[in-house]
Structure 1
């Protein structure tokens, strides 16, 4: 373009010079000279323009050739990047598979630490996969999918990316909930310890020994016979509380308590060698709670001698006894401070959850529940593998938890406690039995025999005995 401008200015100068040099020439000749000069300059300009066009065309051809030469290495580089990316994907998937296998192995035998570590590993590998997916999209591999998302909306894409993180957040929320429960129970332990140590007087206050026992259960580092004794005290307390609630519901439903007691006695007599053929109840009206507690205890302790209450055919206690004892005590320590309702809300189908379902259905007959509550809603929920949030079921969970913890402790001790139960009609032995009915003077009168057992007793490895609780009647 610069060359064209300079030629045009040269043309003007030449025409002006021609006019000045030939002022006397005719107008025609002047015009001819001007036209001839103009034509010559115009032809020259056209030649220059053609040269410029040819140069531009040659430059374009050279650029296209360079671009074609660059396509090959770019494709090779992109393929290499994709191969590296896919290799990382396969490695991450393999790592996630190994972590998931470790997670499954940690369930049997139960190992909370290994489960926690394996769970973290699985989540880590999932996050790696999410990062690799984003790298694939940014590299241009997901171009077609991106166009489809533009047409279908970007909401699905956002949900797809966020979904794994939402799942992780939900799991973390559950863990936080469990930790909150542990913190709450630890705070209660601290308050109990402070209250216990702050009592500096030598005077023995009511409930002091029980507080020591409870505190011993909470802070013990190894299983001991004393720990088992304290756990049995809690079983009896929880059993009494649940029995009182059940008996009050029976009264409210206008049950014939005497007939119910006769039915319980008949069921007890059928399992003993001493049969009572009398149709008259041996239990007085104000002692009906002992018959009801006996019924509950017999049902919930059934299968106590087996490592899983005969819920499955596991033989871990025989195949690897030392490891099984350690696992039982670890489960005991993990569970002792948890609220059973909250625990089953998170893990409804765990071994403890199955135990609760089995024992509830054994204790609370459908006709009993329908009579007490007017429906079978709780029974249906338990049969479906769920755990109701009712006051009645929550009270039952209190008993179930104490028995489950006692069972874990029993299989943590070496040697394990030996369970025994007083038989109906057996002689009263003060060394092994304790009467639930108090006699005047604090001593059992002569001629008393076991009417029915209320709760079992245990002989411990250190030689101590947890007495069986019995309801005594006169021999005649």
Structure 2
């Protein structure tokens, strides 16, 4: 470029010098000098023209090269500008696509939140009234929407990571963090379950050790103590065989449990009555009058005599008779007449299997824990009805000074008191006996001794022990204490009765 400028300056100087040496006025000189001057000027001009022509050709060549270089540079600049423009267009398209993707993601988030809200409302509505199936479906829906929100959150983090700095490494880091965050609650739940399994294993091992020690001690017993321990051992064997199939022996063992829990609850109730300064004789007379029937005129006439006989030492048997009559009422029906179900008639085989399955599931359960989870289950309704039937409002107010326990039971809950706990032990034993009765084929037949009936040792046993172990003659049934059962294998569970001399 510098060379071109220099040549152009020289050319201008040469042209200016030529104009100064050969002015235009020279053509007006004398004619005599015209030829000579013209000839000299012509030759000089011709030389100058030739010189100028060469210079101009060089300058034109260089100028053409310069123009070509400028055109090449312009083409390069245009191509760079076009690439930049194309790059900007591509960036704009990517940005628009990301905005659209984020809008779609937010729409999905709002839809998921709305669906989770509806599922949670359904979950709340399933609590009242209690609907386990609807509750299960709503719970699954809520968990599903929460998982969906977790997936959407991961997608959002991935989108942000792709748009930021760090590239693939950042995406992987966020993805791993998100995965750990999602898995963490499940890992914690698994750890809790593992701890629970370990504690249960320890508990099982302890129970096995206790059973082993008990078996050893039972095998070393003799005499009367040995016989009683043998009975307990048989009961343990029967309890161990409960998972196999219903059997008459299992029914007998459960009936023995009913007797023990009935005695325990009766003793507690009688002690509370005495602590409240009840008139036990009046209470016995009231119980006797309530149990007497119109047909038993003789019994009615001798109610006072019987009451005076038993009140001194055996009032507990009259009270146990009252409790047994209330608790066994409706035993012959599959639901204690709590509803009109006829499943035992429509599908007897399936009903028997279901009853024994319930027996196995409930046998090892604490009744208060079961009712704490399912207060309105069939067993909970049974406890409600029997408690209200056995414990009169005036009785409860006299024993405890208020009706708090009764109000809790009427409200559908179950109090955690000693008295109600003893009642639940009796209620559970009766409920298990009932389940076993309807799981046996044929079902046991229930019978009860009537007042004034002759004593039959084949079907009855006296709750009062006589001296010498023999029952004297002339004894009749003063009142029944608990019913008896005749089983399908021909064995008989004797009815317990309170005997009085014939009058």
Give me the TM-score of the superposition, normalised by structure 1: 0.70
d(CA) in 2 for partners of 1:345, 1:195 = 32
d(CA) in 2 for partners of 1:360, 1:409 = 22
| Equivalent residue for 1:192, pick from 192, 207, 211 | 211
User: How many residue pairs end up in the alignment?
Assistant: 397
| Equivalent residue for 2:267, pick from 244, 247, 250 | 244
Aligned partner of 1:26 in structure 2 is none
- Superposed counterparts of 1:73-472, under 5 Å: 127-140=143-156, 184=203, 187-188=206-207, 191-197=210-216, 199-201=218-220, 203-204=222-223, 205-206=225-226, 207-220=228-241, 221-270=244-293, 273-274=296-297, 275-278=299-302, 280-282=304-306, 283-472=310-499
Q: Residues 378-420 of structure 1, C-alpha deviation per residue, up to 9 Å, x if partnerless?
A: 1111111111111111111111111111111111110010000
The answer to whether the 8 Å contact 2:449/2:495 transfers is yes
d(CA) in 1 for partners of 2:95, 2:418 = 75
CA displacement at 1:277 relative to structure 2: 3.3
3-state secondary structure, aligned to 1:348:
coil
Change in Cα spacing, 1:425 to 1:365, as seen in structure 2 (3 Å) is same
d(CA) in 2 for partners of 1:431, 1:178 = 50
The answer to whether the 8 Å contact 2:284/2:311 transfers is no
d(CA) in 2 for partners of 1:261, 1:177 = 51
- Deviating more after overlay: 214-223 vs 74-83: 74-83
Change in Cα spacing, 1:279 to 1:448, as seen in structure 2 (3 Å) is closer
d(CA) in 1 for partners of 2:324, 2:444 = 18
Q: Residues 14-34 of structure 1, C-alpha deviation per residue, up to 9 Å, x if partnerless?
A: 99xx9xxxxxxxxxxxxxxxx
3-state secondary structure, aligned to 1:370:
helix
CA displacement at 1:322 relative to structure 2: 1.1
Change in Cα spacing, 1:437 to 1:313, as seen in structure 2 (3 Å) is same
d(CA) in 2 for partners of 1:67, 1:376 = 79
Change in Cα spacing, 1:271 to 1:81, as seen in structure 2 (3 Å) is farther
CA displacement at 1:439 relative to structure 2: 1.9
CA displacement at 1:187 relative to structure 2: 4.3
Change in Cα spacing, 1:330 to 1:392, as seen in structure 2 (3 Å) is same
The answer to whether the 8 Å contact 1:262/1:281 transfers is no
Change in Cα spacing, 1:197 to 1:319, as seen in structure 2 (3 Å) is farther
- Deviating more after overlay: 462-471 vs 269-278: 269-278
d(CA) in 2 for partners of 1:391, 1:290 = 22
3-state secondary structure, aligned to 2:500:
strand
Q: Residues 296-331 of structure 1, C-alpha deviation per residue, up to 9 Å, x if partnerless?
A: 101111111111111111111111111111111111
The answer to whether the 8 Å contact 2:323/2:390 transfers is yes
Bigger relative contact order (CA 8 A; separation at least 6): 1
Change in Cα spacing, 1:339 to 1:176, as seen in structure 2 (3 Å) is farther
The answer to whether the 8 Å contact 2:396/2:402 transfers is yes
d(CA) in 2 for partners of 1:285, 1:416 = 40
Q: Which has the higher helix share?
A: 2
Give me the TM-score of the superposition, normalised by structure 2: 0.66
Unaligned runs of 5+ in 1: 1-9, 19-43, 101-106, 144-160
Q: Residues 421-472 of structure 1, C-alpha deviation per residue, up to 9 Å, x if partnerless?
A: 1111111111111111122222222221111100000000000100000011
Q: Residues 114-155 of structure 1, C-alpha deviation per residue, up to 9 Å, x if partnerless?
A: x9xx97x997776554332222234349x9xxxxxxxxxxxx
Query: Which has the greater radius of gyration?
Result: 2
3-state secondary structure, aligned to 1:471:
strand
3-state secondary structure, aligned to 1:222:
coil
d(CA) in 2 for partners of 1:281, 1:133 = 79
3-state secondary structure, aligned to 1:263:
helix
The answer to whether the 8 Å contact 2:218/2:233 transfers is no
Q: Residues 192-235 of structure 1, C-alpha deviation per residue, up to 9 Å, x if partnerless?
A: 34421455447353431232233134211211111111111111
CA displacement at 1:80 relative to structure 2: 10
- Deviating more after overlay: 321-330 vs 250-259: 321-330
Unaligned runs of 5+ in 2: 10-66, 124-129, 160-180
Change in Cα spacing, 1:186 to 1:428, as seen in structure 2 (3 Å) is farther
Aligned partner of 2:89 in structure 1 is 65
Aligned partner of 2:501 in structure 1 is 474
d(CA) in 2 for partners of 1:186, 1:352 = 31
CA displacement at 1:356 relative to structure 2: 1.2
CA displacement at 1:367 relative to structure 2: 0.8
d(CA) in 2 for partners of 1:302, 1:358 = 11
- Deviating more after overlay: 264-273 vs 274-283: 274-283
Q: Residues 248-271 of structure 1, C-alpha deviation per residue, up to 9 Å, x if partnerless?
A: 000100000000000000110037
- Deviating more after overlay: 73-82 vs 292-301: 73-82
